[in-house]
Amino acid sequence: MKTYDAVIAGGGLIGGAIAFELARAGLRVAVLDRQEPGREASWAGAGILSPAPEHAGMVPLVPLGKASLARYPQFVADVEEISGRRAGFRPKGTLEALFAGDAPEELSTLVALHRGMGLACEPLRVEEARELEPALSEEVQATALRPEEASVDNRALTRAVLEAARRSGAEIHAGIEVVSIWREGKRCCGVQTSKGKFAAGHTVVAAGCFSARIEGAGDYAPVSPAKGQMVALRAENVSIERVLWSERIYLVPRGDGRILAGATLEHAGFDKRVTAGGVHSILDAAIEIAPGLREAEIVETWAGLRPDSPDHLPILGPVDLEGLLIATGHFRSGILLAPITAKLIREWVVEKHTSMDCERFSPLRFLETKSAARGCASDAGP
Strands 196-205 and 3-9, sheet pairing: parallel
Calpha distance 191→183 (Å, rounded): 8
Which of 221, 88, 226, 91 lies closest to 158 in space, CA to CA? 88
pLDDT of residue 54: 86
The answer to whether the beta carbons of residues 94 and 51 sit under 8 Å apart is no
Calpha distance 243→148 (Å, rounded): 12
pLDDT in tens, 301-323: 999 999 999 999 999 999 999 99
pLDDT of residue 35: 97
Task: List Cα–Cα distances, 264 to 128, 135, 142, 210, 381, in angstroms.
Answer: 29, 22, 24, 20, 43
Residues 18, 22, 25, CA angle at the centre, nearest 5°? 150
pLDDT of residue 376: 47
Which 3 state secondary structure label does DSSP give 125? coil
Calpha distance 337→334 (Å, rounded): 5
Task: List Cα–Cα distances, 350 to 22, 336, 354, in angstroms.
Answer: 8, 23, 10
Calpha distance 210→60 (Å, rounded): 24
Q: DSSP letters of 287-310?
A: HHH-GGGGG-EEEEEEEEEEEE-T
DSSP state of 319: -
> What string of H, E and C letters represents the secondary structure of 203-229?
EEECCHHHHHHCECCCCCCCCEEEEEE
The answer to whether the beta carbons of residues 325 and 342 sit under 8 Å apart is no
| Domains of the chain by start residue, with CATH | 3-85+154-222+310-377 (3.50.50.60), 94-148+225-308 (3.30.9.10)
The answer to whether the beta carbons of residues 219 and 309 sit under 8 Å apart is no
Q: What element of type H or E holds 198?
A: strand 196-205
Calpha distance 196→177 (Å, rounded): 10
Beta-bridge partner residues of 231: 261, 301
pLDDT of residue 160: 98
Task: List Cα–Cα distances, 332 to 36, 59, 287, in angstroms.
Answer: 22, 14, 23
Helix 62-83 to helix 154-167 angle (10° resolution) is 60
* Polymer length of the chain: 382
Task: List Cα–Cα distances, 324 to 50, 102, 162, 238, 279, in angstroms.
Answer: 30, 50, 22, 49, 40
Helix 13-24 to helix 334-346 angle (10° resolution) is 30
Ranges of the chain whose pLDDT falls below 70: 369-382
pTM: 0.95
Residue type, 35: Q
